[in-house]
Amino acid sequence: MRARSTLITGGAGFIGTNMAARQLDAGGRVTILDDLSRAGTEHNLQWLVQTYGDGVRVACGDVRDRALVRQSLRGVDQVFHFAAQVAVTTSLTDPVGDFRTNAEGTLVLLEELRAVADPPPLLFTSTNKVYGHLTDVGLVQVDGRHVPQDPALRERGIGESRSISFCSPYGCSKGAADQYVLDYAASYGLPTVVFRMSCIYGPHQWGNEDQGWLAHFLLQAMRGEPITIFGDGRQVRDALFVDDLLDAMQLAVDGAERLRGSAFNIGGGPSNVISLLDLVELITELEGVRPRVRHDAWRVADQRWYVSDVGAFTAATGWRPRVDAADGVARLHRWLRDARSAVAEAV
């Protein structure tokens, strides 16, 4: 990888920390713009600064701060926009705050990017929630999982041709940002690309009950605390290990002139599906003891099945996920085990 100067909004978060480390390992410089509002980000930032020293520039603040964003964009070769309010549950209790962070924050960044003489490429992380509840997808149970009745849909997953149908305030705010990022490519020629992401997991993920469920389940089991499953546990996601995601993101940014204005569904795809109950079984193998599980009612806007059709991005770039779900969960488990002291402080 060529050494370059990178701006990562939300750079102390889970994905941001991994992206920052990859850029710094390649000899690049990284500016992290983060307000450190999410639990665990302070530990991620401390690790980055201690590990990489002067290669890390920290801009502590809000992505809606135009002056801070403008300063952070100076001399930047590429932008990864991860800063967000990330939980559906939080959006339901504070929809205004959710909108301001996700939609307004993205628009501020786009406007400042538009003011740059030679705008660098931007990769924005959207969400599969832009496709709504998927209530029109008929489901059956196969091998203890909810899966589509339609064999073709079961085999390939949800593609970009599906109509967007925002659900929950979170889906609306991220969906609005998604559309602004695409439109700024069409209206102003900015080299922007959108990833509509499924379940991402890996090291530096301090998951909680609202977001980052794979890491959260592992953390609960490691602490000997019960895991709460909302619904029947048969809901399915396609899990993508963070290293595979970083590969895809760099390909998207490197090809942004060609891919500008494109939205891609990104996840583990049909070969990496996992249900909540599947994860409990994996944890039992890894921990040597079955975690305690309790059930609660379904949550608002929880899709019972979502799997990404990653074929469009594969066709455009040749990218494919390489880390299967069982191996990836084992890697995350090892990282959390080795970071046990940090886990105790961060959660």
Q: What is the pLDDT along the chain (347 residues), one digit of tens a residue?
A: 667 999 999 999 999 999 999 999 999 999 999 999 888 899 899 999 999 999 999 999 999 999 999 999 999 999 999 999 988 889 999 999 999 999 999 999 999 999 999 999 999 999 999 999 899 999 999 999 999 999 999 999 999 999 999 989 999 999 999 999 999 999 999 999 999 999 999 999 988 877 889 999 999 999 999 999 999 999 999 999 999 999 999 999 999 999 999 999 999 999 999 999 999 999 999 999 999 999 999 987 788 999 999 999 999 999 999 999 999 999 999 999 988 665 455 44
Is 306 one of the annotated active-site residues of the chain?
Answer: no
Tally of structural domains, the chain: 1
Chain Cα centroid distance, residue 286? 24
Question: Using CA atoms, how far apart are residues 116 and 160, in angstroms rounded to an integer?
Answer: 30
Question: Out of 52, 131, 170, 184, which one is annotated catalytic?
Answer: 170
Q: What is the number of other CB atoms lying within 10 angstroms of the CB of residue 327?
A: 11
Identify the CATH number of the domain in which residue 325 sits. 3.40.50.720
Q: How far apart are CA 70 and CA 117, in angstroms?
A: 12
Q: What long-range pairs does 22-30 form, CB within 8 A, spacing at least 24?
A: 22/246, 22/250, 24/48, 24/51, 24/52, 24/55, 24/56, 26/1, 26/2, 27/3, 28/1, 28/3, 28/4, 28/55, 29/3, 29/4, 29/5, 29/55, 29/57, 30/5, 30/6, 30/55, 30/56, 30/57
Asked if residues 103 and 176 have their Cβ atoms less than 8 Å apart, the reply is yes
The three-state secondary structure class of 318 is coil
Helix (H, G, I), strand (E, B) or coil at 264: strand
Q: Where are the alpha helices (DSSP H) in the chain?
A: 14-25, 41-52, 66-72, 88-93, 95-99, 105-114, 151-156, 168-188, 213-223, 242-254, 256-259, 276-287, 311-317, 325-338, 340-346
Q: What pTM did the predictor assign?
A: 0.94
Domain that holds residue 43: 5-346
